[in-house]
């Protein structure tokens, strides 16, 4: 089924439709859970087993996760409009958040039940039919865990990944129930509360990680390695002397935007500079499927006073482990304007940023006798 879904979504081709793959995966999961739930309901009626009926109800609630994933994928694919000019891609993250919260809730509920069992152990009825049915359920859910996991990795889908974790939580919880029944029947020992408590911690941690990662995407996270790769690529072009002020924002899994400033020789013509950045933009957009906008900064043409500032700032860069680079130097009415790029890992707080601004301003005034206005850009390595 995985191959059929990926083929239908034209996976790994230029016409790949990850939204279609997500929606088909959600429909498949929905149908799978409905059939599994129906099978268990029929068996619960035949055997009059409450545990099997409870497992069936759990499968029915899992259907809601599939519905949320489907609706989220559908809505996130809506085209941009006046109120949402960058599209609706982040709706996919909201659907992933819903499933992630459900995983956390399951873990908390299971912890409560396990804790109650530790305090008040009760005899566990050994029911061979129930054990067989729950074992079948474990295998089925394990299959869905791997199915969701493989698809999510291929198309980078957080909702599908969340459903994988949701299915895995069902696997471990049901496994605890089966193991507890067998151990109690063989040794008359209660382990369900203690093992269940440990398993609940794993499920809660999984839910926490899913929620943390989803919030990171909602805020607009872009992978650091992507920014680093783009910076290295841009610096390899002829006549690119430097790159700074890289701003990246994520409006959905396939809707990332990158803005940056590039430094070019001051004696390049406007047409040459435009053609160069236009090529860079197209190359990055083709390779990384990003929307790129580049601003050009001409460098190298300084008067005597500006050259003194440049030489001083080069000295500051050598002496300070916090300062990475500087750019956009110009004098206006004897006031020095300069942008500095600092290591964000070494200057984390607003107070530290202000302290560094004061340090640079004091250095310029002491060495050159000039007032200055410093703009600090924090760079995250």
Residues 323-352: pLDDT tens digits? 888 888 888 888 999 998 888 888 777 668
**What pLDDT was estimated at residue 346?**
83
Buried b / exposed e along 254-265 (16+ C-beta atoms within 10 A): bbbbbebbbbbe
Please report where in the chains the tokens 């440049």 appear, as a residue.
Answer: 310
pLDDT in tens, 73-125: 999 888 888 888 888 888 999 999 998 998 899 889 888 888 888 888 877 67
pLDDT in tens, 257-280: 889 999 999 889 999 999 999 999
Task: Give rounded-to-5 percent helix, strand, coil for the chain.
Answer: 65, 15, 20
Percent of the chain beyond pLDDT 90?
A: 32
Can you give the pTM of this predicted structure? Answer: 0.75
371-379 vs 291-299, strand pairing mode: unpaired
Alpha-carbon torsion, ordered 240, 243, 247, 252, to 10 deg: 50
pLDDT tier for residue 141 given thresholds of 50, 70 and 90: very high
CA-closest candidate to residue 300, choices 330, 267, 336: 267
Q: What's the token pair of residue 104?
A: 């956390």
């Amino acid at each position: 089924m995985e191959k059929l879904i990926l083929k239908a979504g034209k996976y790994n081709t230029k016409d790949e439709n990850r939204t279609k793959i997500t929606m088909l995966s959600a429909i498949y999961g929905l149908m799978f859970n409905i059939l599994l739930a129906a099978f268990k309901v029929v068996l619960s009626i035949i055997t009059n087993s409450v545990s099997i009926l409870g497992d069936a109800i759990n499968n029915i609630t899992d259907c809601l996760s599939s519905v949320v994933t489907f609706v989220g994928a559908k809505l996130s694919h809506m085209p941009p409009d006046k109120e949402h000019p960058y599209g609706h891609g982040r709706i996919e993250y909201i659907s992933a958040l819903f499933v992630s919260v459900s995983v956390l809730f399951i873990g908390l509920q299971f912890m409560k039940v396990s804790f109650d069992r530790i305090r008040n152990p009760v005899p566990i009825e050994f029911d061979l039919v129930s054990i067989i049915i729950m074992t079948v359920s474990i295998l089925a859910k394990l299959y869905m865990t791997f199915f969701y996991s493989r698809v999510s990795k291929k198309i980078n889908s957080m909702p599908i990944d969340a459903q994988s974790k949701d299915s895995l939580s069902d696997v471990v919880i049901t496994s605890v129930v089966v193991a507890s029944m067998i151990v109690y029947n063989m040794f008359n020992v209660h382990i369900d509360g203690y093992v269940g408590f440990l398993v609940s911690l794993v499920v809660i941690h999984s839910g926490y990680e899913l929620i943390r990662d989803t919030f990171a995407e909602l805020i607009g996270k872009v992978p650091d390695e992507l920014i680093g790769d783009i910076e290295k690529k841009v610096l390899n072009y002829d006549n690119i002397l430097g790159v700074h002020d890289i701003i990246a924002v994520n409006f959905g899994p396939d809707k990332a935007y990158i803005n940056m400033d590039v430094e070019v020789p001051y004696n390049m013509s406007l047409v040459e500079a435009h053609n160069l950045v236009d090529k860079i933009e197209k190359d990055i957009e083709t390779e990384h499927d990003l929307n790129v906008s580049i601003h050009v900064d001409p460098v190298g043409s300084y008067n005597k006073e500006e050259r003194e500032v440049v030489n001083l700032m080069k000295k500051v860069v050598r002496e300070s482990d916090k300062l990475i680079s500087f750019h956009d130097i110009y004098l206006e009415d004897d006031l020095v304007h300069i942008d500095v790029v600092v290591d964000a890992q070494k200057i984390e707080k607003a107070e530290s940023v202000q302290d560094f601004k004061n340090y640079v301003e004091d250095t310029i005034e002491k060495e050159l006798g000039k007032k200055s206005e410093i703009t600090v850009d924090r760079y995250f390595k």
